[in-house]
Structure 1
């Protein structure tokens, strides 16, 4: 997957069995592409029941609120996380074009229209290679220029927790100009992107059951209460509630996990 490495951060095939319920789709600094095998994916924003619908293949743009993924006993498919550069390269649109939205993948790129059917006809061992081959073809088809190098560097630094003023100085822009460029590329302000990056880092540690006080310190929150408030705002629940609801369900046959 070397040619796709700058654009695809995660590619996981999953086949999970568990109790029916609602899985939380977490905010992050990456877009998601979910390709269900069999049943369409039933998803919407957790705080907006009217947004719920079924997708043959779902693209979710950058967002600062949790998604609610409704599922039955079995979940099968391929889950991908795309970088901001991957939106242009693989979907043919800047990340800002789908920010805060959920859309059918074929509505963004008609070249992905038959991918769910091809996955349904293939054995699981072929799902990953089939998706990779399709995305390499999309890469050649779009031939889209990536974000400006300065914007790419700024996003990487913001994701890592650097302050907005420091990042603006590093890339040689005023804070206002940096804001305009980042919003045009991602649909989020630099501060919002930085906030999601911090939450993303905390999510990885909470998933590993690192003590919450340590998570707060390592991720730059003022204290554990601040961490919990941010989780309630961005994930719709506290870290401990998320662990109780989600971690037991992120299991399958040992080869892959459900989408985080």
Structure 2
């Protein structure tokens, strides 16, 4: 079973999940521009930003995670996003094994691990620099379908400088981020029952064929297979928080 709600940390999502068997456990994680901190029965993991679908495997019975807004996690973890691109790593690799073990044990002993994880994130975030408003403006413009060059000009950066900033903040360049956000917009419309062709145009694709190519490239599936998978309850996989599930 999977549950989520807006986290107390601005822009983040708090989710919890109990492991399941069967097809729902094998559903891929789709790129979404995010990174997650994940507690998995005592272990603390970091899911970096994905550039393609990730098929997780179950290794714990209970999970909780905080999914950070795009661009917010690198300052929290103290590492550029591109170093974690398409990776899942133990938190100990970033903060030290002893510290990660101590924090993991504290969360495990709490009556509500998800709430304890959220408390940890809030406490750490209070000692972390505020999210860069320029980067949030970049995400907002790209998510609205604005072109990369126009976005760079609007935020006062050259295209090359925006690319460098994006690698550190999002794990990949602004063109890839724009594709990921566009696919998420389209699939949100598909989940709402909007026909493929209309969803493609409303999301910013040239046509349905364009959306079909992007779905295969980024989500690793076809539109038909994606729609068929909606009959199963959505799950957030592991250890990936860098992505929402389809």
Q: CA RMSD in A?
A: 2.7
Which of 26, 36, 45 does residue 58 from structure 1 map onto?
45
- Rounded to whole Å, the distance in 1 between the matches of 2:159 and 2:118 is 38
Which structure has more relative contact order (CA 8 Å, sep 6+)? It is 2
Q: 1:90 to 1:150 in 2, by over 3 A?
A: closer
Shift in Å, 1:15: 2.6
Q: Does 1:69 align with 2:53?
A: no
Shift in Å, 1:152: 3.0
Tell me which residue corresponds to 2:3: none
Q: 1:100 to 1:83 in 2, by over 3 A?
A: same
Shift in Å, 1:178: 2.1
- Rounded to whole Å, the distance in 1 between the matches of 2:168 and 2:117 is 28
- Rounded to whole Å, the distance in 2 between the matches of 1:140 and 1:81 is 17
Q: TM-score, normalised by structure 1?
A: 0.76
In structure 1, runs of 5+ residues without a counterpart are 39-55, 252-258
Contact 1:59–1:105 (Cα < 8 Å) also in 2: yes
**Secondary structure at 2:27's aligned position in 1?**
strand
Tell me which residue corresponds to 1:19: 22
Q: How does 1:1-260 map to 2 (within 5 A)?
A: 4-6=9-11, 8=12, 10-15=13-18, 17-19=20-22, 21-37=25-41, 56-71=43-58, 75-110=61-96, 111-123=99-111, 126-141=112-127, 143-144=128-129, 146-147=131-132, 149-245=133-229, 247-250=231-234, 260=245
Contact 1:207–1:247 (Cα < 8 Å) also in 2: no
Q: How many residues align?
A: 229
Contact 2:39–2:117 (Cα < 8 Å) also in 1: no
Give CA-to-partner distance per residue, 1:206-233, whole Å, 9 cap, x none: 3334322221121011221211111110
Shift in Å, 1:171: 1.6
Contact 2:163–2:174 (Cα < 8 Å) also in 1: yes
Give CA-to-partner distance per residue, 1:40-62, whole Å, 9 cap, x none: xxxxxxxxxxxxxxxx3332222
Per mean C-alpha deviation after superposition, the further-off stretch among 221-230 and 180-189 is 180-189
Tell me which residue corresponds to 1:49: none
Q: 1:24 to 1:247 in 2, by over 3 A?
A: farther
Q: 1:69 to 1:247 in 2, by over 3 A?
A: farther
Give CA-to-partner distance per residue, 1:139-182, whole Å, 9 cap, x none: 244x34643x3333123211322101211221222222322322
Q: TM-score, normalised by structure 2?
A: 0.79
